[in-house]
Amino acid sequence: MYDICSDMSFLPFSVSTCAKINLGLRVLRRRPDGYHDIESIFVAIDLADILHVEPNPALVVECRPEVTLAPEQNIVHKACRLYGQHFPDDNSGAKITVEKRIPTGAGLGGGSGDAAAALLAMARLNDREINETLLRELEPLAAECGSDVPFFLRGGVALVTGRGEHVAPLNITFPWTVLVVCPGIHVNTAAAYSTLGITSEYPSPNLSDAFTYAIDNNTVSADIFTNDFERAVFPQQPFLAEIKRRIQETGALFASMSGSGSSVYGLFENEANAALAAEQLADLRPYICAPVTAPFRPL
């Protein structure tokens, strides 16, 4: 997987990141640190931001369009600072321009993917080999950036637990095409957690087995792969429930909100079926996405 960086010996370089969807999302107990434990299958998809990276004496991060009030508040800036603190002998200067294409605040992990890509880009700028040893060293930095960031160091498909920092990659090929609708509705994640409560103290013992069964039988159980946040968010944002219903009516094998919203996606057997569904949902400007296995890809 990590050979993707072998052709980036030239500088500057650009990489395409990825987004993710949640196949099932259970919110478990509240932790002493104030976070909640979760359980979810994360699937990386090719809806992507672009990071343009070049050497620079100082750290400069630009985002187009801006998503924070100041560049220093951007999660990419935080990731690069953490990298410099952890590797004090490395060059911590860089100019990184983030070209945003993944909708923000949509439950797709766009910022988290950007942060993971920034950690890997800093390693590449310093001629570090991106291998399993380095990834394990970067994992604590990724977790400090944000709950979902560790997943994006590897991408692919994984069982994610804890507050999102425990990532167990699944050697499974995701067979479905993903159609994503991002209605631009802002969902406050903290408020969603506060109104949701918890469903259980402990994770399910067989979620990975259920995922394998779903693939083998081309059927996804809405009871097993439920997103707990729908209970809290749909009453507040009924338009999202309407989007889910419309996706289901186009023939999707499964439909769900991703993360705490506000994006909603459907799974289809192939790209042709997803394209037919997209025609019926044209007023919602859906994205047709494929699963990806690499955390980022050189351009």
Cis omega (within 30 of 0) for bond into 71: no
- Helix/strand/coil (H/E/C) assignment for every residue in the chain: CHHHHCCCCCCCEEEECCEEEEEEEEEEEECCCCCEEEEEEEEEECCCCEEEEECCCCEEEEEECCCCCCHHHCHHHHHHHHHHHHCCCCCCCEEEEEECCCCCCCCCCHHHHHHHHHHHHHHHHCCCCCCHHHHHHHHHHHHHHCCCHHHHCCCCEEEEEECCCEEEECCCCCCCEEEEECCCCCCCHHHHHHHHCCCCCCCCCCHHHHHHHHHHHCCCCCCCCCECHHHHHCCCCHHHHHHHHHHHHCCCCEEEECCCCCCEEEEECCHHHHHHHHHHCHHHCCEEECECCCCCEEC
Residue 226 backbone zone (phi > 0: left; psi -120 to 50: alpha; other: beta) = beta
Catalytic residue, candidates 37, 49, 114, 148 = 148
20 carries an active-site annotation: yes
Catalytic residue, candidates 20, 37, 78, 244 = 20
- Partners of 22 in the β-ladder: 42
Catalytic residues: 20, 148
